[in-house]
Amino acid sequence: MPARKTNPDFMTGVPELLILRLLSTREMYGYEIVQAIETASGEAIKLGEGVVYPALHALEEQGCLKSRRKPVNGRTRVYYIATAVGKKRLSDLTGEWRRITDAVAGIVTGAKHATV
Amino acid sequence: MPARKTNPDFMTGVPELLILRLLSTREMYGYEIVQAIETASGEAIKLGEGVVYPALHALEEQGCLKSRRKPVNGRTRVYYIATAVGKKRLSDLTGEWRRITDAVAGIVTGAKHATV
DNA sequence: GTATCATACCTTACAGTTCAAGGTATGCAA
DNA sequence: TTGCATACCTTGAACTGTAAGGTATGATAC
């Protein structure tokens, strides 16, 4: 009852942003993304597979990603990469992310907003 | 149907953080907080009353805030201010906020994490 | 030969959050 | 007396991430 949060602070929308960012450069598969984010964030962000797979499916359905199956060592991987739509989306999301975080930083840092 | 979002990106936990920040310095009332955040954020962040009032009540119940009723011009306002517990909470939240946003910035900016 | 682990994909139940929209009531201006 | 800004509050809806589970393969260890 000490307020157990299932949707942790400051994480909403972050998975989508990071996934689009990673896939805007090169082709990757789900399991790889999970670990890439963990590594690239210095362990600060760990996305479960329950976040990544549904996100990939949703993004593909929206036309932001396209996928292809590729057999590797007898095992099949599903590789995703961002489409033009996905890159546009990434650009929009990045701008939104900056807008919000800059605004929050301004207030939290006490910089108020100038001699008000 | 184009994916209407009710829980906008990057806003989870932000109201709590901002409210605690404002009330860590001086006493304020709900309606005032709504407008203060709008102004201080340069219109970037606008919290509805449906977000602020429930948040105030929850924070008070958790011991993070304390309130007192104060009549002003025949109208009654409920002023809130952060307690020691609330300041501790603010400190924790701020740290968490930095951790997440720094990590995201690192990836989005393409700085990956090489050569850190 | 079989137990276990890492890989690799996937789904579901749950809980918490914000938003939008509504509701009450006062004081002041037109 | 109509309307608006103030000032408080609640409810329903929708979305999101988490945790936990489920399937199946290949490699490693015993």
CATH number of the domain encompassing residue B26 = 1.10.10.10
In a domain, B80, yes or no: yes
Per-residue confidence (pLDDT) for residue B111, from 0 to 100:
67
Mark yes or no for CB contact B103/A45 under 8 Å.
Answer: yes
In a domain, A108, yes or no: no
Assess whether pLDDT exceeds 50 at residue B2: no
In a domain, A19, yes or no: yes
One-letter identity of residue B72: V
Does A28 lie at the interface with B, CB-CB under 8 angstroms? no
pLDDT tens-digit readout, B81-96 = 999 999 999 999 999 9
In a domain, B9, yes or no: no
Which stretches of chain A drop beneath a pLDDT of 50? Answer: 1-3, 114-116
Q: Which two tokens stand for residue A33?
A: 């993304």
Per-residue confidence (pLDDT) for residue A17, from 0 to 100:
97
In a domain, A109, yes or no: no
Per DSSP (E only), the strands in B1-116 are 28-29, 65-72, 75-82
Domain tally, chain A:
1
**Is residue B29 within 8 Å of B80, Cβ to Cβ?**
yes
**Is residue B26 within 8 Å of B81, Cβ to Cβ?**
yes
Give the pairing of strands B28-29 and A65-72: unpaired
**Is residue B59 within 8 Å of A3, Cβ to Cβ?**
no
In a domain, B108, yes or no: no
Structural domain for B26, as ranges: 14-99
In a domain, A4, yes or no: no
Mark yes or no for CB contact B107/A41 under 8 Å.
Answer: yes
In a domain, B4, yes or no: no
